[in-house]
Structures are given as structure tokens and as C-alpha cells.
Structure 1
């Protein structure tokens, strides 16, 4: 029960994450798995969708579907069926705060928790990594950004991993995560 692969950063389009992407497919333990890409955090960016289809579909042999939620009116039943009929869920990076708001409005958070109990591989990069944790260290809001990177903006995740999380830990901005973890009672995981 419960398979999660959290990726701290990197660019899929430049094949920086290819070893991890291969691992995600192997972790599903099924030939030609069905992968559902959820690009909510990137505002359902077409280029991102195309990259995921190229890497996971063409290179890694997955049957790739996409769940676009930003500008599409999709029924609750369709959302639930797409999520629960997948072998792998891959959540893309971007605006974590906006993503979580949309997910809660459309019950995606509930269906992803159900997917976790059904042994569907949950994965993602950056915002797609934060979402599985209790809270995340995010750069989502321009209003709280300073020096082109981030101050700590708490993002409440799904809580499937009982820890706080900081992706992109090797980049400027992680210092506030370190400082804030001094006052937390849960572990912090930085990638």
C-alpha cells in the first residue's frame, strides 16, 4: 500500500530526470503501464504535456493520458475514473498553491488519497513532489517572493507522507526551510 516517488527538481525535457522516470515506470511493476499526467500547477501547459508524452509514452512505453483541470469543465466521475484507472500518477511542477486550491475544489485530493490506498504509483516533480507531504516549502506566490526565488510559503499538501518538504534544496531559498524546521515537530525532507 502506498507508493510515492517525490522528485526534488530537474528538467524532464533535458533528460535530467530520466533515471528517476525509468524507476517510476519500473516501480509500477506492470508492462506498458497507464500513466496519468496532472499538469495543474503549470496551468495545463501544452509544452509540458507534450514533453511527458514524449518521455513516458514514446521512450518509456507508457500509455499516457492527461487530466487538465484549469480551463476544462470535467465531471467528477471522469476525474475519479481517470485517477483510479491509472497505474502511475505523475504531477508536474509549477504553482503549488493554485494547484492545491483547484484540486480541493474538484475533489482530486480525495481521489489521489484513494489511489494511494490502491497501490497506484504517485509521483511528481517540485509542486508534484510537495503535494504528497503534510506541508511544503513553496515559491508559488509572487507576493512573497524575494530576490527571484522564494520565501517560505506554507502549502498544505495531502499528508500522505508525514513530513514537511522542500524541493529544489540545492538552489537559493532553502535557507528559510532550514530555519523554519527548527520549530517544527515533524521531520523535514529536502530534495
Structure 2
């Protein structure tokens, strides 16, 4: 565990479950000072799907890290052991699935409080889709079937999050409508292939992209019943320091 490190959260528009090049996962590992960081995959949002866990192990077993998994649906650790396990990690990597169910399970088992403690101790929190949504105050989700707003989350990242901004029909207008109406606070829209690292208090540290087209957007009310989108410059992974932006 990275003792004394600044609290940080990374939102991922991809990773081992969506991409073959491994660029976003390598970027995550590169944020940790340890030469062999301990990386715990948390697949709660998928119901701890065995195939998802197998994909994580396949992707990370050859990387310079020590991979592990937190399986809450077949939990064996008592409260003290669970706390010790989570706080010993360098990275907590949360998978996609159902955001609302993830939050409910975490709160029932006390994982929400442990995630906050890990964050405050400098463990890097990250995730894709539901695993990105969960850190914010609210999010845009299909947890209930149709796309809708979920004004609920751990609140470690100020504002709201919308994943799959470019790849799922309806995401962009639905999220924009929620922000414009004030049912979700201003926030961050992550396209597939993009990544964003935030420091303490929600300060954007870096935005990256694994393709030339991937973007991270800041989405805010425009004061006239609509929204204002601002694309952030992204460092192109795998090609040096070149940036992409609208």
C-alpha cells in the first residue's frame, strides 16, 4: 500500500475487459511507485462473475504486479481480515456491471467505508463503467434497465460520471438532460478508450487516450437550460506526449 500518497481515483473507458492492447491497464500500474504493486480486482457489480475474474487473472498474471480478487458473493474473510486485505493493496480495480447493486452490496458488507479509508490512505481507486460510476456523487446508469440518472455514489469524486459516452446510443443526450435539469451535478463523461486520473478533492491530474478519437469531457449546465461540453486534452498512450482534443 502506498502509504502517504495523495488520495487518487482513476476513471477508465476500457481496460482488460474491453481492450486487447493493455494500454490503460499499464497506465494504471504506472501510477504506483511499487515495482510490483498489489492489484485487487473487485467484480461486485457483475455478481462476481467467474468468467470476469478469469479474464482479470489472464490479463494481469504476466504483468509486474501481484493480482488478487475480492469475492463478496462467496465471502470468506471476517471484518478484520477484509479490512486488512483491502488496506494492504496498492490498487483497487472495480469492474463493470450494475452500479446500484454494487453500492447496495458494498454498504451491506461495510466495503463502502473501507473504500473511503483506502482512498484516504493513498490506495489508488479505479474502475470501468460501474467501477467508474461508484466513486462519484451521482452517475448515469442502466442499472434499472433504461438509461437514467442515479443520484447516489460514494461521493469520493465530486460531481457525476457518465461512462460509454460515445459508444452506447442515448448516453450523450440522456446525461446532458440530467445535468441540465440539475438531477445530476456537473461531471465527467468518459468515452471508450479514455482515462482520467483525479487527485484529492476531484482535481484532474491527467487525461489519457488509447486511440486518437477517445475523449474525456467536462459537462456542465450552460445556464440556459442546456449543457456545455468541454473536451480535455488527452495524452495519447503508446505514442509519447502528443495530445488530442477537440
Q: Deviations over 1:27-71 (max 9, x none)?
A: 01211110111100011011111111121222x221111111124
Pair 1:17–1:105, CA change in 2 (3 A):
farther
Which among 178, 181, 184 is matched to residue 183 of structure 1?
181
Q: Contact 2:15–2:23 (CA<8 Å) still a contact in 1?
A: no
Match for 1:131 among 127, 130, 134? 134
Residue 157 (structure 2) aligns with: 161
Structure 1 equivalent of residue 61 of structure 2: 57
Greater shift after overlay, 37-46 or 176-185? Answer: 176-185
Question: Structure 2 unaligned runs (5+)?
Answer: 1-5, 191-246
Structure 1 residue 46 corresponds to structure 2 residue 70: no
* Structure 1: gaps of 5 or more residues: 146-150
Tell me which protein shows more helix as a share of its residues. Answer: 1
SS of aligned partner of 1:182: helix
**Cα distance, 1:73 vs structure 2:** 4.9
Alignment of 1:1-16 (within 5 A): 1-8=6-13, 10=14, 12-13=16-17, 15-16=19-20
Q: Normalized against structure 2, the TM-score is what?
A: 0.70
* Greater strand content: 2
1:11 Cα offset (Å) = 5.8
SS in 2 for 1:179: helix
Q: TM-score, normalised by structure 1?
A: 0.89
RMSD: 1.7
Assess, with a 3 A threshold, how the Cα gap between structure 1 residues 13 and 161 changes in structure 2: closer, same or farther: closer
Distance 1:116 1:37, change over 3 A: same
**Residue 172 (structure 1) aligned to one of 169, 172, 175:** 169
**Count of residue correspondences:** 182
How far, CA to CA, are the matches of 1:155 and 1:46 in structure 2?
30
Considering Cα pairs closer than 8 Å and 6+ residues apart, tell me whether 1 or 2 has the greater RCO: 1
